[in-house]
Amino acid sequence: MTVTTFDPMHVPTEAQSSPNFLESAHGIKSWIFTLDHKRIGIMYLWSILLSFLFGGIAALLVRLELLTPQKTIMTADQYNQMFTLHGGIMVFLFIIPSIPASLGNFVLPIMLGAKDVAFPRLNLLSYYFWLTGAALILTAICTGGIDTGWTFYTPYSTRTATSVIWMGLGVFVLGFSSIFTGLNFITTIHKLRAPGMSWFRMPLFLWSIYATALIQILATPVLAITLLLLVVERAFGLGIFDPKLGGDPVLFQHFFWFYSHPAVYIMILPGMAIVSELVATFSRRPIFAYKSVAYSSVALAVLGFLVWGHHMFVAGTSEFSTVLFSALTFLVAIPSGVKLFNWLATLYKGSISFESPMLYALAFIFLFTIGGLTGIFLGTLSIDVHLHDTYFVVAHFHYVMMGGTIFAFVGGLHYWWPKMFGRMYNELAAKIAFAFVFVGFNVTFFTQFILGSRGMPRRYYNYPPQFQTLHIISTVGSWIIATGFIMMAIYFLRSLRHGKKAPDNPWGGLTLEWHTHSPPITENFHNTPIITHGAYDYEHPDAKAFILQTQGKI
Amino acid sequence: MSAIDTEVIANAKIEHAEHEHNPHLAHHFSEPEQQISAAKLGMWAFLAQEVLFFGGLFVALMVFRTWYPDMYRAASSQLNVPFGAINTMVLICSSLTMALAVRATQLNRNRQAFWLMAATVLLAGVFLVIKYFEYSHKFHEGQLPGHFYTFKEIPFDNAHMFFGIYFCMTGLHGLHVLIGMIVIGWMMVRAWRNEFSSQYYTPVECTGLYWHLVDLIWIFLFPLLYLVK
Amino acid sequence: MSTTTHADDSSHKHTPHVLPLRIYFGVWVALLVLTAITLAVSYYDFGEGNLIIALVVATIKATLVSLFFMHLFYDHKLNALVFGGSIVFLFLFFFFTLADTTTRGQVDPANGVFVNKHLQQKPSDEGHAH
Looking at every residue in chain B, the average pLDDT score rounds to: 90
Residue A113 CA to residue A123 CA, distance in Å, equals 18
- Could you tell me which residues come within 8 angstroms of residue C11 by beta carbon, excluding any fewer than 6 positions away? none
Compute chain A's Rg from CA coordinates: 23
The mean per-residue pLDDT over the stretch C99-121 comes to 73
Q: In this complex, how many residue pairs, one in chain A and one in chain B, have their CB atoms less than 8 Å apart?
A: 141
Binary contact (B161, A239; C-beta < 8 A): yes
Mutate: best of A311, A317, A332, partner C, most C CBs <10 A? A317
Q: Mean pLDDT by 10-residue block, N- to C-terminus, for chain A (554 residues)?
A: 42 62 92 96 98 98 97 96 97 97 97 96 98 97 95 94 95 97 98 95 97 98 97 89 89 97 97 97 95 97 97 94 96 96 96 97 98 97 96 98 98 98 97 98 98 97 96 98 98 96 94 93 91 90 88 66
User: Which residues from chain A sit within 8 angstroms of residue C106, using beta carbons?
Assistant: 318-320
pLDDT at C128: 40
Coil vs helix vs strand at A447 = helix
Residue of chain A with shortest Cα separation from B156: A246
Binary contact (B96, C28; C-beta < 8 A): yes
The mean per-residue pLDDT over the stretch B82-110 comes to 97
Residue of chain B with shortest Cα separation from C14: B199
Mutate: best of B20, B216, B224, B228, partner C, most C CBs <10 A? B216
Residue of chain C with shortest Cα separation from A254: C97
Give C120→chain B minimum CA distance, Å: 13
Binary contact (B227, C14; C-beta < 8 A): no
Instruction: State the pLDDT confidence band at B114, using cuts at 50, 70 and 90.
Output: very high
Give B160→chain A minimum CA distance, Å: 8
- Burial group, residue A457, by CB count within 10 angstroms (0-12, 13-18, 19+): middle
CA distances from residue A46 to A42, A43, A50, A102, B99 in whole angstroms, order as listed: 6, 5, 6, 9, 45
Binary contact (A239, B157; C-beta < 8 A): no
pLDDT at A13: 45
Binary contact (A183, B56; C-beta < 8 A): no
Give B6→chain C minimum CA distance, Å: 19
For C59-77, what is each residue's pLDDT tens digit?
A: 999 999 999 999 999 999 9
Coil vs helix vs strand at A521 = strand
**Which A residues 172-211 touch B at CB under 8 Å?**
179, 182-184, 186-187, 190-192
pLDDT at C1: 37
Binary contact (C99, A320; C-beta < 8 A): yes
Residue A25 CA to residue A20 CA, distance in Å, equals 9
Residue A429 CA to residue A484 CA, distance in Å, equals 10
Coil vs helix vs strand at A388 = coil
Binary contact (A318, C106; C-beta < 8 A): yes
- Burial group, residue A462, by CB count within 10 angstroms (0-12, 13-18, 19+): exposed
Which of B31, B66, B219 is nearest residue C62 as measured by Cβ atoms? B219
User: Quick check: C125 pLDDT over 80?
Assistant: no
Cβ–Cβ contact A248 with B under 8 A: yes
Q: What is the torsional sign of CA A170, A172, A176, A177?
A: positive
Residue of chain A with shortest Cα separation from B164: A238
Binary contact (A238, B164; C-beta < 8 A): yes
Which domains, ranges and CATH numbers included, belong to chain A? 13-550 (1.20.210.10)
Q: What percent of chain B has pLDDT over 90?
A: 80
Coil vs helix vs strand at A289 = coil
Coil vs helix vs strand at C107 = strand
pTM for the model:
0.93
Give A231→chain C minimum CA distance, Å: 21
User: Quick check: B68 pLDDT over 60?
Assistant: yes
Contacts 24+ apart (CB under 8 A), B124-128: B124/B91, B124/B94, B124/B177, B124/B180, B124/B181, B124/B184, B125/B181, B126/B90, B127/B87, B127/B90, B127/B91, B127/B94, B127/B177, B128/B174, B128/B177, B128/B178
Residue A331 CA to residue A306 CA, distance in Å, equals 10
Instruction: State the pLDDT confidence band at B21, using cuts at 50, 70 and 90.
Output: low
Cβ–Cβ contact A15 with B under 8 A: no
Give A190→chain C minimum CA distance, Å: 10
Binary contact (C127, A321; C-beta < 8 A): no
User: Quick check: B2 pLDDT over 90?
Assistant: no
User: Which residues from chain A sit within 8 angstroms of residue B172, using beta carbons?
Assistant: 228
Contact in structure between C1 and C77 (CB atoms under 8 Å): no
Instruction: List the domain boundaries for chain C.
Output: 1-75
Chains in touch with C (≥3 Cβ pairs < 8 A):
A, B
Strand partners, B47: none
Binary contact (A246, C101; C-beta < 8 A): no
Binary contact (C100, A319; C-beta < 8 A): no
Find, among A371, A357, A364, A406, the residue nearest to A102 by Cα.
A406
Contact in structure between C104 and A318 (CB atoms under 8 Å): yes
Mutate: best of B219, B221, B224, partner C, most C CBs <10 A? B219
Binary contact (A321, C103; C-beta < 8 A): yes
Chains in touch with A (≥3 Cβ pairs < 8 A):
B, C
Binary contact (B32, C14; C-beta < 8 A): yes
In eight-state DSSP terms, residue A481 is H
User: Which residues from chain B sit within 8 angstroms of residue A192, using beta carbons?
Assistant: 28-29, 34, 38
User: Which residues from chain B sit within 8 angstroms of residue C66, using beta carbons?
Assistant: 212, 216
Binary contact (B30, A528; C-beta < 8 A): yes
For A282-319, what is each residue's pLDDT tens digit?
A: 999 999 999 999 999 999 999 999 999 999 999 999 99
Chains in touch with B (≥3 Cβ pairs < 8 A):
A, C
User: Quick check: B6 pLDDT over 50?
Assistant: no
- Could you tell me which residues come within 8 angstroms of residue A381 by beta carbon, excluding any fewer than 6 positions away? A313, A322, A323, A326
CA A500 centroid distance within chain: 28
